[in-house]
Amino acid sequence: MIERTFVAIKPDGVQRGLTGEILKRFENAGIKIIGMKMKWIDKEFARKHYTEDIAKRRGEKVRELLLDYITEGPIVVMALEGVHVIEVVRKIVGSTEPKTSAPGTIRGDFTHMSFAHADKEEKSVKNVVHASGDAKDAAYELKLWFTEEELHTYKTVHEVHIV
């Protein structure tokens, strides 16, 4: 099942020079990058990404912290394609809470923040990367961040081995 998903390397990942390492992990898994760009977004656009659903699930304070976090510097956004790519990318990225992310995952290797610490300090959890949670989120986020003209079709060597 070939799917598409959305990934963003958040400002802390870009600022720490982790972009290449993160890209490498997806490419090493045979995931195809079909769109990529760097953007520095404003709060108005960030509200479209972190919708009111986040506030309903996690509270308005958390949403505001996320809006501040994602707008504090440039981010690298990607459209990825591959077999069960949404699930595979989530495994590569690791748990949303870095403290519980397994070693070998992006968040497990490059972050260690906990929800409890972030709450105590009243700051966002710096977890380096965002990845769509499911097919519905992926469809919404891809459409929000990319036009059809910005998504590309091509064959990779990996497709020869999985098709």
Catalytic residue positions, numbered: 130
C-alpha to C-alpha distance for 151 and 160, rounded to whole angstroms: 21
Q: Which residues of 77-102 are buried (b: 16+ CB within 10 A; e: fewer)?
A: bbbbbbeebbebbbebbbeebbbebe
Which amino acid, one-letter code, is at 142? L
Where are the extended beta strands (E) located within 10-163?
Answer: 32-39, 75-83, 129-131
Q: How far is CA 158 from CA 7, 104, 161, in A?
A: 20, 22, 5
